[in-house]
Amino acid sequence: MPPKAKFTKEEIVAKALEIVKTSGIDALTARLLGEKLGSSSRPIFTVFSSMDEVQNEVIASARRLYEKYIDDCMQCSNPFKGSGIGYIRFAADKPKLFQLLFMRERGDSPDRGTVLSLIDNNYGRILQAVQSEYGFSYETSREVYLHLWIYSHGIASLIATGVCKFSEQAISEMLADVGAGIIRKYKMEDKK
C-alpha cells in the first residue's frame, strides 16, 4: 500500500506557485518546496512523480491566473484594448509568472503567424474581439492583433523585468494611440 499523502496536490502546487511568484521557476526545487511546506521533500513525491510534474502544474496555475486577468479586463467597452491592458497588468502584478509564461526560451521558435495561438489560450476570443469591434476579416484581425500584441509585449516585458514603470493612464493612452494608428491603416487598406 502506498504511503498516505501528507499534503494534497493543491497544497503543494499553491506553495510551489508562491515560490515561483517571488523567485522564478529556476528557484523551484524539491528541497526548497519541502522546506516551505515545513517538511522534507519526500511528501511531494507521494503526490507527484517528478519535479517536472510539479512545474507543469505551476504553469497551469499561472495560466489560470493570467486568464482571470484577461477575463476581468475584457469586460470593458473595448475588449480588445482590455486584453492588452490585462496582459500588461499581469506583467506588473506577477512579473515572475509573466516571465514564466511569456518570456521563456522556446525550443520550437514559432513564426509570427502562429506564435500567439501557441502561447496564449485566449487567442481565439481576443481575435474574435478584434473581428467584432472593427469588422475586419479573419486575416486582417490576425495582423492587427499581432501588431498590438508585439507592442503590448514590449511594454509588459519592460515592466516585468523592472526596466521601466508606466502608470495605468499612460498604458491606456499608449495602447489607444498605437491601436488607432494600426486600425486606421487596415481600414484604409480595406477600402482599396
Under the phi-then-psi rule, with left for phi > 0, alpha for psi from -120 to 50, and beta for the rest, what region is 159? Answer: alpha
- Of the chain, the end-to-end C-alpha distance in Å amounts to 72
**pTM confidence score:** 0.91
Q: 3-class DSSP state for residue 180?
A: helix
pLDDT at 189 over 90: no
- What pLDDT digit, counting tens, does each position of 43-82 carry? 999 999 999 999 999 999 999 999 999 999 999 999 999 9
Look up residue 42 and give its three cell numbers: 519526500
Q: Give Cα separations from 108 to 58, 66, 104, 118, 182 (angstroms).
A: 21, 23, 12, 10, 29
- What pLDDT digit, counting tens, does each position of 109-131 carry? 778 888 988 889 999 999 999 99
Q: Give Cα separations from 100 to 24, 26, 54, 192 (angstroms).
A: 7, 10, 14, 42
How many residues are listed for the chain in this entry? 192
| Distance separating alpha carbons of residues 60 and 47, to the nearest angstrom | 17
